[in-house]
A and B are shown apart, each in its own frame.
Chain A
Amino acid sequence: MRNIWTIAAREFRVYFTSPIAYIVLAMFAVIFGYFFTTGLAFFLDYSAQAAAQGGGFGAPSLHVNQFVIEPSLGNMSIVLLFLVPMVTMRLFAEEKRSGTIELLLTSPLRDYHIILGKWLGALMLFACLLVVATANIAVLFFYTTPDWKPVAVALLGLLLMGGAMIAIGTFLSTLTKNQIVAGALTFGILLLLWVLNWISSYETSTFSRVCEYLAISPHFEQFSKGVIEVKDVVYYLSAISLGLFMSKRSLEALRWQA
């Protein structure tokens, strides 16, 4: 446990001693801020119109959760497609290129200490992004009374989804010495997993249903509405386990090739 933490803490610190953390956090803050502000402006405009029309049938459904928080968190998940590869690409590729992987593999560590540590380090940076998002949302609590529970569920969903994406990125980073290759592969595969469910819009075969289940994005929909479904949780946890398991295999293979 201590070993995992040592590795994770080092990874986390390196993000902040290099420009990576600042670039990722700044990009995220700007883009999420933009989503959030436009969502809020739209909501204010819309509710002003609804008020001018004197309430009516639609009025009670105008809720800040549904109109501001939910869409901005939903859109944010697309931003993650771009940010996760930037976070994960260096995890193993850099160590392989600089030779420091030899230090890790000749220290009294188990492979899973190294892999879990690195995954956790990247996840901690990811959690910082969620803190930025939460700071935006927190502003709403000064002016109105959003329901906090769906927000918490959505954040949990994002954390799970981020964990799954980072696990995939960790695995792809073990495959190469080249960070660009690792990053590009991660982006390509995450994008593919993202759009995999599009096939179900014009097909209803078993294949398309499998694709729909395998896609990353549909599993977040329920979370963003504040609903925790077991199948979604299972999906993300399985993706995390698979990514970490394949990383372990890849690390073992590295010993045989090196």
Chain B
Amino acid sequence: MIAVEGVTKRYGTKTAVNNISFEVERGEIVGFLGPNGAGKTTTMRILTGFLPPTMGTARIGGLDVSEHPIEVKKKIGYLPESPPLYPEMEVGDYLRFVASIKGIPKSEIADRIDSALERASCTDVRGLLASKLSKGYRQRVGLAQALIHNPEVLILDEPTSGLDPKQIIEVRRLIRSLAGEHTIILSTHILPEVSSTCSRIIIINEGRIEASDTPENLTAQLQGANAMRLDVEGPAEQVRARLESEDGVRQVARESGGDERAEWRVEVEKDPSAARRLAAAVVESGWGLYALQPLGLSLEDIFLKLTSQEEDGAADASADEGAEADSPPEEASQADAQDEEALDS
């Protein structure tokens, strides 16, 4: 459904997105995970045809985004980071306008508005001016806007940012309910968000794809896994069996070498004694241990970066709260929401 090949985007000398490629199948929900400034928004903007890529091609439903912009844009519903609402328009009128520029036939517009409002559960704000909406409703009207032409592809940039925990749960539920009939790409910098909604995660950092896998595999890797490289002289099958029998070993794979001597990649649960026990196991069996090297997981670094940023944000929020003791209740509740999010992750 979506195919991105070697897309690079440069702003002057700064490279925002560097040679990324990925594919998304029909009906999948894919989450872009990465710290702020990693290139998530730029990638999404390239997919929507808002930005042309410096190099590479992006295809949606087999059509090149830059060559067939109109056809591609008809297939896409896009919710930018801040919902593109016109403050001086009523929600109903706004959706009528959006429906019209998305090319929906006049006779269908009324029905589409009703169903979009219902699916984004914001029917009750239909007659309100967009400037009067709370953050949560702005986000939902933004979603209704993205859904109105029933697009095959939904692109949602940070759909839950700035919402309170209850709203976050609602939006996630809504997104999951849209899966199947729509192909969805969403971005976030919060890990639990993707693991609870997405069928696949693409981790982006500094404009590159660092990993792409299912949430289960990634979280397993991220939470407490560690890898070692062992260079062992000994009968391969016995070595494998011995290593696998050791406590806490998850996976043993031969990277190179033959039956006499081989290099093994061993994934173990995080445990300071793992290296010592593995070395002892090899030596006690009378084999030769030529090397034992812990492998750093770059994913883990990224994960740490992600979580620490979230904590920074929460710290800022609570600092603000402290500074302005008499801040209005709305602000306080937003700060609370951020705290909750931090705890959540």
| Chain A contact residues, CB within 8 Å of chain B | 2-3, 6-7, 10, 13-14, 17-18, 98-110, 255-258
Contacts and interface: CB of A to CB of B under 8 A. Distances in A.
Contact of B52 (A2, A6, A256): A256
A3 B88 contact: no
Q: Which of A3, A108, A256, A258 is packed against the most chain B CB atoms within 10 Å?
A: A108
B87 A102 contact: no
Nearest to B47: A106
B113 to A, nearest CB: 14
25 contacts: A2-B100, A3-B103, A10-B86, A10-B89, A13-B93, A14-B89, A99-B82, A100-B86, A101-B84, A102-B50, A103-B98, A104-B101, A106-B49, A106-B50, A106-B73, A106-B76, A107-B73, A108-B69, A108-B102, A109-B73, A110-B70, A255-B51, A256-B51, A256-B52, A258-B50
Contacts of B50: 102, 105-106, 255, 258
A106 B97 contact: no
Contacts of A107: 73, 98, 101-102
Contacts of B74: 108
B159 to A, nearest CB: 15
Contacts of A2: 100
Given A14-B89, A258-B51, 14 more contacts: A7-B101, A10-B97, A18-B88, A98-B86, A98-B87, A99-B82, A100-B85, A102-B45, A102-B50, A106-B50, A108-B69, A108-B101, A255-B51, A256-B51
A13 B11 CA distance: 37
B80 interface: yes
B48 interface: yes
B89 A99 contact: no
B264 interface: no
Nearest to B142: A103
Contact of B88 (A17, A101, A256): A17
A17 B94 CA distance: 13
Nearest to B106: A2
A23 B51 CA distance: 37
A106 B48 contact: yes
B78 interface: yes
A177 to B, nearest CB: 14
B145 interface: yes
Contacts of B84: 98-103
B73 A108 contact: yes
A25 to B, nearest CB: 17
Contacts of A18: 88
Given A255-B50, A255-B51, A102 B97 contact: no
B67 to A, nearest CB: 14
Interface residues of B, number: 30
Given A18-B88, A258-B50, A102 B101 contact: no
Nearest to B74: A108
Contacts of A257: 11
B88 A14 contact: yes
Contacts of A105: 49-50
A64 B234 CA distance: 114
B93 to A, nearest CB: 8
Contacts of B102: 107-108
B283 to A, nearest CB: 61
Contacts of A14: 86, 88-89
Nearest to B75: A108
B56 to A, nearest CB: 16
Interface string B88-127: 1100010001101111000000000000000000000000
Interface in B149-176: none
**Which 5 A/B pairs are nearest by Cβ-Cβ distance?**
A103-B84, A108-B73, A100-B84, A6-B100, A106-B48
A108 B68 CA distance: 10
A105 B84 CA distance: 11
B276 to A, nearest CB: 55
Q: Which of B48, B50, B69, B82 is packed against the most chain A CB atoms within 10 Å?
A: B50
Contacts of B52: 255-256
A33 to B, nearest CB: 29
Nearest to B85: A100
B9 to A, nearest CB: 10
Nearest to B90: A17
Nearest to B71: A108
A185 to B, nearest CB: 24
Nearest to A105: B50
Contacts of A104: 101
Interface in B250-286: none
A102 B80 contact: yes
Nearest to A101: B84
B65 to A, nearest CB: 11
A109 B103 CA distance: 9
Nearest to A103: B84
Q: Which of A14, A17, A102, A109 is packed against the most chain B CB atoms within 10 Å?
A: A102
Contact of B103 (A101, A103, A108): A108
A157 to B, nearest CB: 33
A96 B97 CA distance: 18
B216 to A, nearest CB: 33
Contacts of A102: 45, 50, 78, 80, 84
B340 to A, nearest CB: 27
A215 B15 CA distance: 45
Contacts of A99: 80, 82, 84
Interface in B234-259: none
A67 B70 CA distance: 55
